[in-house]
Amino acid sequence: MRQLSRFVAGAALMAALLTGTGAKAADIALTTTGAVEFILRDLIPPFERSTGHKVNMTVLGTVIAVDKLKDGAVADLVLLNPEVLSELTKAGRIAPGSITPVFHSRAGVAVRAGAPKPDISTVAAFRQALLNATTIGHSTGVSGVHFTATVIPNLGIAEAIKSKIRISKGFPVGVLIAKGEAEIGIHQIAELLPIPGIDIVGELPAELQATLVYATGIHASARQAEPARALAQYLRLESSVRAIRKNGMEPAPR
């Protein structure tokens, strides 16, 4: 019964999104980050076909995106993590009350393709894998913040691995791993999946894992606020779930 209700609700929302869009087609400026790029590449074309709108997507590292938006860059829809969107709301860049969670993500571990896969099945095993590694890669994004602010302190190895850390800025950690610049890397599964030349070992141990959330927010100076809102709603439809999961994330609870 619950699935039927969700299907009916999704169908009703889709009908609402499609009503009258043909005569009011708009160019929607979307600013987002690499973690969700491939999900959006799967979902934007059917949205465009269904509504007549066109989505112009700009993909930036989270830190760069925030800096540009604070410096005056304008988008219609911004898709980043909620903490960042809240920061941008305080800065007057995101419309208050417009933040809506859309995707949930989890962090994982990868090594270079063909390299031995370390045991990360327990907290103790993962800790030892980090101590054994010659170099460790992480990003400046939400998974990197979680790794440095929560995982490393919990493991008590900050000083022991300090000299091993390699940080990817504006590109996926998988690139460091594939080039041999990091023996082991921690990044979101969704950002590891598209990178050639690496093998994904698995997710972080459950005790060290965190659900990383991505959300949409309407820009306070959006030129196409309603079409942007329609795109945000489209990302939450039941029909979008397959593309979300295919690209390593889960839909946010509705």
**Phi, psi (rounded to 5 degrees) for 125:** -65, -40
| Full-model pTM | 0.82
**SS3 at position 33:** coil
Look at residue 20 in the predicted model and tell me its pLDDT: 42
**SS3 at position 228:** helix
Q: Provide the token pair at 66.
A: 């925030």
State the DSSP code for 163.
G
Low-confidence ranges of the chain (pLDDT < 70): 1-23
Look at residue 160 in the predicted model and tell me its pLDDT: 97
Partners of 124 in the β-ladder: none
Q: Any residues with CB less than 8 A from the CB of 57 and at least 6 apart, and which?
A: 30, 32, 37, 40, 44
C-alpha closest to that of 62 among 206, 181, 187: 187
Task: Kindly list the structural domains of the chain, giving each domain's residue range(s) and its CATH number in brackets, ordered by start.
Answer: 2-103+213-251 (3.40.190.10), 107-208 (3.40.190.10)
Q: Provide the token pair at 154.
A: 């919990």
